[in-house]
Structure 1
């Protein structure tokens, strides 16, 4: 799965690992309502095998809409938990439930 979750016992936070495999992509960012859809806030690190990864701390008991930006193009997660229609953008976004 492209998203893995590690819930902390000490506080209401989940460490969420976002991964996206795209060897042909040069730069990948994560945007969502957790970072105000800021294209520069959450870049992913590219690993040697072509997979990009980043870990984000998110509050539990919430849902989050998100997308990746691959070389300037908005794309959804390859394996999202769900997709939700966003009227503002007139498109579907990936959805994460914590």
Structure 2
């Protein structure tokens, strides 16, 4: 898993590529990204399967913010990003949420 960030020239937005490696996907057929940026929708932000077996999606997010998120594998198993910028306890479960920080 990984997060790749690219800031706009005016530093107002940050393109973040969320990637789940083939190993981390553990044979999943589909992966969706849910977080603050999509009202925690489990279906609005699907990741695309790459030729190497990894899944990824790129989102343009506002800069200078922190966004909580998690991955939903095959519609039934929640996973965190192993390389998130940090983790915050989830308000409605015993798990943590991954966090991506969009500031330089």
Provide the rounded CA distance (Å) in 1 between the counterparts of 2:37 and 2:56.
Answer: 17
TM-score by length of 2: 0.87
Asked whether the equivalents of residues 23 and 50 of structure 1 are also in contact (C-alpha less than 8 Å), the reply is no
1:76 and 2:89 equivalent?
no
In the TM superposition, what is the alpha-carbon distance from 1:23 to its structure 2 partner? Answer: 5.7
Confirm or deny: 8 A CA contact 1:23 1:51 kept in the other structure. no
How many Å separate the matches in 1 of 2:20 and 2:56? 7
Aligned partners of 2:86 and 2:11: how far apart in 1? 26
Contact 1:23 1:49 in 2 (8 A): no
Q: Which has the higher strand share?
A: 1
- Matching residue within 90, 95, 98 for 1:94: 98
Q: Counting helix residues as a fraction of each chain, which structure ranks higher?
A: 2
1:19 aligned to 2:19? yes
- CA distance in 1 between counterparts of 2:44 and 2:52 reads 24
Q: How many residues align?
A: 98
Stretches of structure 2 that go unaligned for 5 or more consecutive residues are: none
Distance in 1 separating the partners of 2:84 and 2:11 = 25
1:24·1:50 contact (CA, 8 Å) conserved in 2?
no
With structure 1 as the length reference, what TM-score do the two structures score?
A: 0.92
Secondary structure of 1:34's aligned partner: helix
Q: Distance in 2 between matches of 1:65 and 1:87?
A: 11
Unaligned runs of 5+ in 1: none
